[in-house]
Each structure stands twice: as structure tokens, then as C-alpha cells.
């Protein structure tokens, strides 16, 4: 099979070379892996929890190695890489406890003399994951899948092939793998989805690819959980705490150097505070350090790939042609690597411009409004529905808006963050199904009814 290389986005230097698994190799590995799934599904929830908590301990013991690999491969600032690994370990522990407390066989009164509803796993789940949170995206769903008796076949992004290898090693207990890492071409990934060896599919990534995967899974009548793109909107009301609002919005926009599906991307600012908000937003940018992601002082690293930098340039050109005023910071950027200035696109009162775009870079889109209902209609008319928020001191108004906005998560006076204790996912073109929380556990369970007369 053909080889591919990984490179460091900081300086384009060579990191490693890998080869794709052939389809026959992949199926052989999956068959071997599936033998353990039969044993795993028969374990009690308590025994599964013990294993998953052991995996959490192993993650922490390898935290520095895992974090450094992520930073080298996709440019995440090292402090954020370390936090990502720690968050993964915490998620495993939390979800293990949630499963023990909430996922049990239960008896109900029905037309049989005795009726039980029994949670059973699907089996092997193909997990197709992106590069931007190489551990978090994969392990947060794996925790739910593992605790409900499933096992994971991982097809990770080629940009983070090294992270995927490390994850496979760390997710092993007493010589038994709980995650099988396969390097698959796009064509072979499609064949694996269609295979009878795979019982369900989960995917995190772009909406366009998610639609293709959903079609493949649907053609085989397989359960599919999709966590797709987002262009999260935040509404800034004139009565808000402006300083707090700006700080939260800037933090949200710069999550993972702007490369996050749940980052705040579109900011709808009331006309009364628009100019002041924009001024403070740009001033807040000035406190962020762009540089070498291995430097603990760095807060914004390079984009993960040169092609993503080119995409940003194309998007900003089209935004300019659409009437947006583009305002960049003036940092001295490193001479090599996929670095970009922090940017603001001022669309003025043209609320619907770029509503179908997701800018995956540290560039914020600002819109000026006077009519709140018009903003709500504009947000709901767009294709995305991952997260949203509002900044205001009027909590009654905020609660009313939360009921109107179509989104998987809505926040008031803060920004969207994923948490293993609550379900995560979106609506419309932002996805199907949920990960994490008790609700996320349910998405990886076949609830079997057992009736007895």
C-alpha cells in the first residue's frame, strides 16, 4: 500500500512515514479483534469500569509523551495538549461511574408477566476521527462505547498518525487491546463501513464527509453517530458585562488556535455596543502570544496544515468581495510554518453573509444588529446547530432565546465547552446523536426487551 508522511506544521519538517493497511490486512486484524469483544460484552459494568479507570491512569502516566506528539503533528500549544490528555483521563473516569450508576437492566410492567429491558452492545464500532483534538475526540466516544460493552476500531486522520499509534498502545491492559488502530485509505474506509464485521459507525469532522459516511452506514442499516461542523453564533446584548463578554468570546474564538468545531465563530453585536465591542475584541487579541507550540508561553500555534492556511486565505478573499472589512493583528510571525495573524471580519449589518461558512482559523466574524428576533431567525435559517450563546444581564430574556435557538448546546454569559458529564452533539448539519453523559451512553446501546409469560 502507498506510504504517507507526517510533517511538523511549525516548520514543515519531516516527522515520520507510514503505510496504509491493505484491505485484507485490515479485515484480518478486525476479525482477530472481534474475538475479544464477545468476552468484553459479558463483563459486568463494575469490572469494565475498573479497566477503563486503569486506562485513565495509563493516559496520565504517558501524558507528556502523548502531548508532545500532538503538538509536533498538528501544532497545538503544548499546554493545551497536556490539558487535552488530562481531560481524556478525567472523562474515562467520569463516564465509567455514570455507566455503573445509570446503565442497568431494569424490569417494567408490560403485557408479559415479567418484562426486562436489557442494555447490550452493538459490537465493533468504527470510529473515524479528525486531527484537531487527536485524543479527546477519539476517547470521549470510546469511553461510552467501552462502558456499554463495545470495542473501537479507529481510523484516524493521517495528520496525526503518530498520535493514533500512541493511543493504541496506551489503550491496552494486560496485553489486550481495547482500541485497534487502522491506517485506511478513503476507499478502504468505505469498504470497512460496509463490512458485516462492523456494527456501528461514529464520525467527527466536516459536514460534507459526514454526509458521505451517513449514506454508507445507512445503506448497510448501521447505527451512525455524527459530530460535524459548527459556526457557533453568540449574541451580544447592550446590557451585557462588556469586558467579560469580550474575554469569553476571544477565548472561544481562539480555542485550539481557532481550529475547533465548538469555537465561537460568528458574533452578533447590538448596534449600541458594536464599536466598543470590536475595539475591545481587537485589544484582547494583542495579549495572545503566537509562536512555537512547544514553548509553554505560546497560546496560538500554526494551523495544522498548509492547505488549511490556503483555505483561510480563500475565505477571507471571498468575505472581502462580499463586503466584509478585514482587520488583522500585526504580530511578528515566525518565518516558517503555517502561521496566520489573528483576524476580524466586520460584516456590518449584513447578517446572512457567510452563514454557510465555517472558518477553521483564528478569525472572528462580527455582525451589527438592532432587531433580536431578526438575529434569531438568521441563526436558525443557517445550516449549523452545534452551539450558541448570549451575553446579557436579563436572564429571563436569555432563557427565552435559549428556547428559540436551534442548537445542541446553549450558554449564557459564557462559551461552549464539552464536558463528559453532559451530552454533546448538534442539530441539522452539525450532526446526529450524542456523545458523553448518560445520553451519550445510550447512543451505543441496543436496548433489548426480554419478555416472559
Q: Is 261 a catalytic residue?
A: yes
Cβ-in-10-Å burial (0-12, 13-18, 19+) of 330 comes to: exposed
Which residue among the candidates 84, 261, 357, 358 is catalytic per the annotation?
261
Separation CA 273–CA 329 (nearest Å): 21
Q: 82 and 63 in contact (C-beta within 8 Å)?
A: yes
Q: Which residues of 194-217 are buried (b: 16+ CB within 10 A; e: fewer)?
A: ebebbbbbbbbbbbebbeebbebb
Q: Is 86 a catalytic residue?
A: no
> Residue 121 phi/psi, 5° resolution?
-75, 165
Nearest 5°: the CA angle 351, 262, 149 is 145
Separation CA 192–CA 208 (nearest Å): 19
Which residue among the candidates 84, 168, 227, 435 is catalytic per the annotation?
227
Grid cell in block for residue 63: 501524558
What count of other Cβ atoms lies within 10 Å of the Cβ of residue 325?
Answer: 13
SS (H, E, C) the chain: CCEEEEECCCCCCEEEEEECCCHHHHHHHHHHHHHHHHHHHCCCHHHHHHHHHHHHHHHHHCHHHHHHHHHHHHCCCHHHHHHHHHHHHHHHHHHHHHHHHHCCCEEECCCCCEEEEEEEECCEEEEEECCCCCCHHHHHHHHHHHHCCCEEEEEECHHHHHHHHHHHHHCEECCEECEEECCCCHHHHHHHHHCCCCCEEEEECCHHHHHHHHHHHHHCCCEEEEECCCCEEEEECCCCCHHHHHHHHHHHHCHHHHCCCCCEEEEEEECCCHHHHHHHHHHHHCCCCECCCCCCCCCECCCCCHHHHHHHHHHHHHHHHCCCEEEECCCCCCCCCCCCCCEEEECCCCCCCCCCCCCCCCEEEEEEECCHHHHHHHHHHCCCCCEEEEECCCHHHHHHHHHHCCCCEEEECCCCCCCCCCCECCCHHHEECCECHHHHHHCCEEEEEEEEC
Active site residues: 227, 261
Amino acid at each position: 500500500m502507498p506510504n504517507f508522511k507526517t510533517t511538523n506544521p511549525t516548520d514543515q519538517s519531516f516527522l515520520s512515514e507510514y503505510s496504509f493497511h491493505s484491505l485484507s490486512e485490515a479485515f484480518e486484524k478486525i476479525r482477530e479483534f472481534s474475538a475479544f469483544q464477545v468476552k468484553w460484552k459479558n463483563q459486568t459494568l463494575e469490572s469494565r469500569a475498573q479497566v477503563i479507570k486503569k486506562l485513565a491512569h495509563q493516559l496520565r502516566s504517558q501524558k507528556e509523551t502523548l502531548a508532545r506528539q500532538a503538538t509536533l503533528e498538528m501544532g497545538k500549544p503544548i499546554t493545551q495538549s497536556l490539558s487535552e490528555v488530562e481531560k481524556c483521563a478525567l472523562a474515562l473516569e467520569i463516564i465509567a461511574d455514570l455507566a455503573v450508576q445509570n446503565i442497568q437492566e431494569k424490569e417494567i410492567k408490560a403485557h408479559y408477566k415479567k418484562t426486562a429491558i436489557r442494555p447490550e452492545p452493538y459490537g465493533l464500532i468504527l470510529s473515524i476521527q479528525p486531527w484537531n483534538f487527536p485524543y479527546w475526540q477519539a476517547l470521549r466516544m470510546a469511553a461510552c462505547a467501552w462502558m456499554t460493552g463495545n470495542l473501537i476500531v479507529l481510523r484516524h486522520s493521517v495528520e496525526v498518525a503518530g498520535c493514533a499509534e500512541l493511543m493504541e498502545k496506551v489503550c491496552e491492559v494486560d496485553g489486550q487491546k481495547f482500541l485497534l488502530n487502522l491506517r485506511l485509505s478513503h476507499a478502504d474506509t468505505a469498504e470497512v463501513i460496509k463490512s458485516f464485521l462492523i456494527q456501528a459507525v461514529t464520525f467527527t469532522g466536516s459536514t460534507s464527509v459526514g454526509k458521505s459516511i451517513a449514506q454508507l452506514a445507512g445503506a448497510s442499516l448501521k447505527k451512525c453517530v455524527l459530530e460535524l461542523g459548527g459556526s457557533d453564533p453568540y449574541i451580544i446584548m447592550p446590557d451585557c458585562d462588556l469586558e467579560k463578554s469580550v474575554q469569553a468570546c476571544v477565548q472561544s474564538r481562539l480555542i485550539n488556535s481557532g481550529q475547533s468545531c465548538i469555537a465561537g465563530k460568528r458574533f452578533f453585536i447590538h448596534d449600541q455596543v458594536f464599536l466598543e465591542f470590536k475595539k475591545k475584541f481587537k485589544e484582547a487579541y494583542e495579549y495572545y502570544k503566537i509562536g512555537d507550540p512547544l514553548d509553554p508561553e505560546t497560546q496560538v500555534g500554526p494551523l495544522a496544515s498548509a492547505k488549511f492556511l490556503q483555505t483561510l486565505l480563500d475565505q477571507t478573499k471571498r468575505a472581502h468581495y462580499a463586503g466584509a472589512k478585514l482587520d488583522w493583528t500585526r504580530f511578528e510571525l515566525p518565518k516558517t510554518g503555517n502561521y496566520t495573524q489573528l483576524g476580524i471580519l466586520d460584516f456590518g449589518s449584513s447578517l446572512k453573509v457567510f452563514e454557510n461558512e465555517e472558518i477553521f482559523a483564528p478569525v472572528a466574524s462580527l455582525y451589527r444588529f438592532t432587531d433580536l428576533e431578526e438575529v434569531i431567525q438568521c441563526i436558525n435559517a443557517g445550516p449549523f446547530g452545534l452551539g450558541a450563546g448570549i451575553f446579557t444581564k436579563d436572564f429571563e430574556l436569555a432563557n427565552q432565546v435559549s428556547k428559540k435557538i436551534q442548537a445542541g448546546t446553549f450558554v449564557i454569559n459564557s462559551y461552549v465547552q464539552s464536558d463528559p458529564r453532559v451530552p454533546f452533539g448538534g442539530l441539522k448539519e452539525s450532526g446526529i446523536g450524542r456523545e458523553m453523559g448518560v445520553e451519550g451512553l445510550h447512543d451505543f446501546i441496543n436496548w433489548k426487551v426480554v419478555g416472559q409469560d
